[in-house]
Amino acid sequence: MSTTELTSQLSSYTGRLLRERFGKGPESVHASIGKQCIALHIRNFIGPVERFLLNKEEEQAFRYTRELLMKSLLPELAAYLKEHMAIEVGELFYDWGIHNASGIIVALLKSEETSVDHYAGRDQVHTQISDVSRKVQKEPEFIDSWWLGPRTLIIKREGILIPLEKELINLGYENTLKTTKRKMEKRYLEDTTTIAPMLGKELSDIYVDWDFDRDTSVIAYTFL
């Protein structure tokens, strides 16, 4: 099966799965498949109940509802990739752009191969991401990044949680911590970095998520 057929199949399945779980499907799902990860860019995806919550400025309730539903949906997506596309997933990340009802799911793949994407500006990207991480939590122990097509840059960080955050997670404040970190990191990424112009791109969205158990994080930059 060609890459075009695989991405089309994956986009259709994801759209159907979201519709079954949320009661309303997205306007579109665009799948990108690379050596290191898969990204599913979801557009115009919000139901009437969620819209009501956001109109009442209940962002925490909106995110909590989506967290619950996504936790049941992601294992099915991983199982589908393994059974129907022979792709094994290591970690799954996701985030939502509330301002435009868009979102992304990033699946890091299990692979014996390690490859480095030596794209122009890579060192500068890593320096700026390290600076933001240091301001919000601490400097990452490891950073990697790669392009997934011409419009999506994926950045992976490892070892960024500070002891206070780990204690909050142990006390059950994971959702509150994640919401707070998202707001802070996105604000710093938008206001204090020059990654888009440095790469000669026009920024569309920034998505951020964490796997607190593994102390890893993924940032996805999407460009117009």
pLDDT for 45 equals: 85
Is residue 102 scored above 60 in pLDDT? yes
- What pLDDT, on the 0 to 100 scale, is given for residue 52? 75
Look-up: residue for tokens 């589908």? 80
Amino acid symbol at 135: K
Predicted pLDDT of residue 202: 94
Q: Provide the pLDDT for residue 200.
A: 93
* pLDDT tens, residue by residue, 129-172: 999 999 998 999 999 999 998 999 999 999 999 999 999 999 99
Helices (H), the chain: 3-22, 48-55, 59-85, 122-136, 163-170, 174-192, 195-198
pLDDT higher than 60, residue 88:
yes
Helix (H, G, I), strand (E, B) or coil at 26: coil
- Strand 216-223 versus strand 152-158 pairing type: antiparallel
Q: How confident is the model at residue 56 (pLDDT cuts 50, 70, 90)?
A: low
- Write the class of the CATH domain 122-223: alpha beta
Dihedral sign (CA 19, 23, 24, 26): negative
Q: Which residue has the higher pLDDT, 17 or 113?
A: 17
pLDDT of 112 strictly over 60: no
Residue spans of the domains in the chain: they are 3-109, 122-223
Phi and psi dihedrals of 96, rounded to 5? Answer: -125, 135
φ, ψ at 41 (rounded to 5°):
-95, 120
- 138 by Cβ neighbours in 10 Å (0-12 / 13-18 / 19+) ranks as middle
Mean pLDDT of 47-61: 73
| Matching residue, tokens 């480095």 | 116
Overall average pLDDT of the 10-30 stretch: 89
Query: What confidence tens digit (pLDDT) does each residue in 89-100 have?
Result: 999 999 988 778
